[in-house]
Structure 1
């Protein structure tokens, strides 16, 4: 018997030596299976996040659910305030199945409105409070909402589109005690007078886990935003993400991301799922971030896009490691920023994840490998079928073999991530947009008749089975017969001392196939553009086809509300000095420098006199 025990121990040690992440891989898959079983159980009992909230109110009524500025709101407070909001909605004529658009920033009222809507069986459509005019009308219409509730400070934005809303017989509320505009109703005065008694469950009796809980909009970096349908079941899947990475009820999470975005909204629903406390900030502030974490004893922080880099760019302080933050969860952190962050701010576990709001698949970097978004394992692929397939950037479509099926990408090669659509991994698509929903489905991937969700993202698996995000399909461009990943080029550019931020894209050049690389950059504070230094750096670290031919120096880079770079307008303007007031530079191979892009150089490039 002892011999067999020793043999098994040796075998296990040999397995771990060859596959050091084996136990982590198995543990992660078991967690995913456990959460799947939980959600399936909730399906059978029709148990929603709202039901979890109501149970938590009974179990810990006096525990804080939200800390906002100098205010503290308990679970009981949240229950009573959302009951009041629900009654205002009922009096306005809303009924189960209706949708209400919310136009307000990060404030407690956002949470009370959403919970109140859920209590009467309605769904919410949180709008980006930065959009205006036609974009605002477009997003409002996407969800099929019949009511709009807006913050008082956004009343001007509402009045701009009010005639169109009134034509559609939309009910419009402003979060104020009184309203100065005819045909617009005040909300807060009605809410203060409403009863806080419990709302009858009969008002949501037809609600199921397949019903829409919320409509979350895509960022719109490459076009108009679309309203992704997030069902109550999908909301469970999102909310359980924090339990997978070990977040507990005693934790305090800091939410500075906009609540209209998936990541910020998940912060609230995961708070409810865990029964913990959330600190809500109206807007991200790099200078006040750590002061807030210390003030509220924060243990979990969220990040997205460039937030971690913004934090690393703040002046160093002796108090940088004086905090209780243990875990940072989010996506979009670059490997160099990852290392800088942990080196400066201490032993914070970074849990990078990958997922799309409308997607049916997600990844979590549970191993702590800098830059990775997860691991590619046989068990994970078997239980949650996905593939990385070869992608033709020129024709913007997957590569197919002679049988018309997709071809798996080789290890180390960027491939399009596709995820199988099935009863266990459904894809609900976009509200009121069957065409865009269908466009995200890829058929005949591995066999005739199968259907996969097309993420539109290129990922790569390395020799050790770590998965890395490479680029969006629309962001990757082709030049000199090679694919250029804009994210990689941007990372290289921001390593130059004078460059603070870089947004890389491809521009059309007459007479040339593909697109030439161009970067819009901002300069570090107090720095001048070191044209020769940038040339030398790019020459050293990038292959010839990936080196930007044109540079545009801007005072700031346009981003979405979640810090994703906007490229559409930049691509349209190209490198034309007649259209662009910003300083432009051209990569001059003879001078070994980025030289000012004059009209003569522009005309010579366009006519083909200057070869690029």
Structure 2
């Protein structure tokens, strides 16, 4: 009697398993991923109810106590243990306690390249309860001055290799900002932080200085281009930092992993996901000053790297490297990042072995994220009924000509069908708040859409167009508005236009991005109208953009027009310009190409165009 029953039960289990595979092939992937999300959410809520607000810094201090001798950062042959970083950051804290008027809640700007001192200063200031503003080390001149002024810091800490960058704007800085340099010999008007560190105490800083009153209190300011204008300082709360630090754990990383971080720490990927992720795990990271495609795999082998961070361009650069026999001779099992193209993804796996690519999506200031927990090539993540219970988002119809969401006669937005690109918007609520930007309230309000589906609702506008397929996988399609991505950075077209517009022979500039075969993102292009009776000075224009813009923001192509089309609200039209691209076969206007060897823009001939398209000339 028992045997037939067991046989029937076994057959039923096999049938259900077959049915699940057939109808719900990703059920268990989704289940285990959502279980981790819910588990982390429950832990956060339990801490809140108990009144125990644990921050990323608290987790670091806990590791420094439990595993003081475990390597935390490996950098250029040197190893810094959890205890080393704890003591050095305490030295930083004591310098500012004894030699400045900094107090809890003050903002301090940090301009530093990837190096251990970045983390030392960051944690040292965090131990004082200060909000640290990460400045992009590529930004120069007026843009840098704007960033510093916008976050209103009481102090500015500058890395030894970037003191020259500050020197040119030092006279223009607000008088109440003290500037500290990580060097013994510093320019006049700058205080030497390095000199004072040599005699500072490394004793622990009382927790009362940094204990969090709320997880919604500001922790960092991270600059992002957003959709328009100069860089804006996004408010990163303690809660956002905790969520970001859980990404590596959610993808399956452990304390035994060694994580390679070649991304800049001033971006949220390197700092929140990379450094914060290692702290969440109690793991070790290998910090790289600057990404090098030729040194990448040697570094991974040398340090037994098991996980690395990427952006799409990084993987493409690795695929462009000459093939070597030992390409699959490494211990890397996971790669975590965003922006990798499907064809690069496939080539990467084919060349470098069975590495799980953990693609994710999320804006620095955003309240929504997706994680590709299944490894589906090309996807930024996957949604389902249960996911939308925790994260309310929609893909709405968008008018590309008018550059705004489409609303019906009643004024409501509507969802796109599966397979169609739609603007990703995420509901703003208590569970998923939007903390906005520092300073100008208008910047924060611009990122919000109100009365989207009903009166009174509020959604965060990501500025990204996303496609959801029939299996509920999500794919990045494009960005809207005035921003495009190039070399892994967001480029604000208004910043480009403003820099070019400073020249006395320029009347108007319309900057935008154009697609180039085999390149991630879009290359910068500027359409220009000259002032009457003025001639185009190509060398002067080249000098202007390289002086006032980061390298990734410099327009690769120029188009000289006599007249520009505008919208009904007098906004410069970009849609047709983007569509036409930079082909001299389609465009009768004069075209020019940025030639770094000649330090000038040169005429874009058909021959030059063909070389760019074929990849013979690198951008």
Q: Where on the TM-score scale, by shorter chain, does this alignment land: which range?
A: 0.7 to 0.9
Distance 1:433 1:34 in 2: 37
- Contact 2:125/2:132 (CA < 8 Å) preserved in 1? yes
> How far off its partner does 1:431 sit?
0.8
Q: Deviations over 1:417-463 (max 9, x none)?
A: 00010000000000112101011111112221111100000000122
> How far off its partner does 1:19 sit?
2.3
> How far off its partner does 1:585 sit?
4.5
- Contact 1:360/1:421 (CA < 8 Å) preserved in 2? yes
Equivalenced residue count is 531
**Would the alpha carbon gap of residues 595 and 284 (structure 1) be closer, same or farther in structure 2, given more than 3 Å must change?**
closer
1:290 match: 297
1:10 match: 15
Q: Write the mapping of 1:125-204 to structure 2, written as runs, cut at 5 A.
A: 125-165=133-173, 167-181=174-188, 183-204=189-210
Answering whether residue 429 of structure 2 is matched by residue 442 of structure 1, we say: no
Q: Deviations over 1:336-365 (max 9, x none)?
A: 100110100111110110000000010011
Q: Secondary structure at the residue paired with 1:470?
A: strand
Distance 1:554 1:505 in 2: 10
> How far off its partner does 1:197 sit?
0.6
> How far off its partner does 1:40 sit?
2.3
**Would the alpha carbon gap of residues 354 and 139 (structure 1) be closer, same or farther in structure 2, given more than 3 Å must change?**
same
Report the TM-score when normalising by structure 2: 0.80
Q: Write the mapping of 1:512-591 to structure 2, written as runs, cut at 5 A.
A: 514-516=575-577, 517-519=579-581, 553-555=593-595, 581-585=602-606
2:507 match: none
Distance 2:304 2:176 in 1: 47
Answering whether residue 35 of structure 2 is matched by residue 38 of structure 1, we say: no
Distance 1:157 1:127 in 2: 12
> How far off its partner does 1:555 sit?
4.7
1:569 match: none
> How far off its partner does 1:177 sit?
2.0
> How far off its partner does 1:204 sit?
2.5
- Contact 1:39/1:236 (CA < 8 Å) preserved in 2? no
Answering whether residue 322 of structure 2 is matched by residue 261 of structure 1, we say: no
Answering whether residue 156 of structure 2 is matched by residue 95 of structure 1, we say: no
- Contact 2:53/2:212 (CA < 8 Å) preserved in 1? no
**Would the alpha carbon gap of residues 6 and 548 (structure 1) be closer, same or farther in structure 2, given more than 3 Å must change?**
farther
Question: Which one is further off, 274-283 or 506-515?
Answer: 506-515
From 7, 16, 27, give the equivalent of 1:22. 27
2:124 match: 116
Q: Secondary structure at the residue paired with 1:581?
A: strand
RMSD between superposed Cα atoms in Å: 2.9
Distance 1:100 1:42 in 2: 28
Report the TM-score when normalising by structure 1: 0.81
**Would the alpha carbon gap of residues 462 and 13 (structure 1) be closer, same or farther in structure 2, given more than 3 Å must change?**
same
- Contact 1:405/1:445 (CA < 8 Å) preserved in 2? yes
Q: Deviations over 1:260-288 (max 9, x none)?
A: 01111121111111100010111111111
**Would the alpha carbon gap of residues 296 and 76 (structure 1) be closer, same or farther in structure 2, given more than 3 Å must change?**
same
- Contact 2:167/2:187 (CA < 8 Å) preserved in 1? no
- Contact 2:226/2:483 (CA < 8 Å) preserved in 1? no
Distance 1:501 1:464 in 2: 26
> How far off its partner does 1:161 sit?
1.4
1:425 match: 432
Distance 1:580 1:73 in 2: 46
**Would the alpha carbon gap of residues 13 and 476 (structure 1) be closer, same or farther in structure 2, given more than 3 Å must change?**
farther
Q: Secondary structure at the residue paired with 2:327?
A: coil
Distance 2:611 2:184 in 1: 59
Distance 2:42 2:403 in 1: 38
2:320 match: 313
Q: Secondary structure at the residue paired with 1:306?
A: helix
**Would the alpha carbon gap of residues 582 and 247 (structure 1) be closer, same or farther in structure 2, given more than 3 Å must change?**
farther
Q: Write the mapping of 1:297-376 to structure 2, written as runs, cut at 5 A.
A: 297-376=304-383
Distance 1:80 1:54 in 2: 10
**Would the alpha carbon gap of residues 254 and 10 (structure 1) be closer, same or farther in structure 2, given more than 3 Å must change?**
same
- Contact 2:316/2:344 (CA < 8 Å) preserved in 1? yes
2:549 match: none
- Contact 1:308/1:333 (CA < 8 Å) preserved in 2? yes
Distance 1:18 1:581 in 2: 58
Distance 2:52 2:200 in 1: 31
**Would the alpha carbon gap of residues 301 and 221 (structure 1) be closer, same or farther in structure 2, given more than 3 Å must change?**
farther
> How far off its partner does 1:323 sit?
0.8
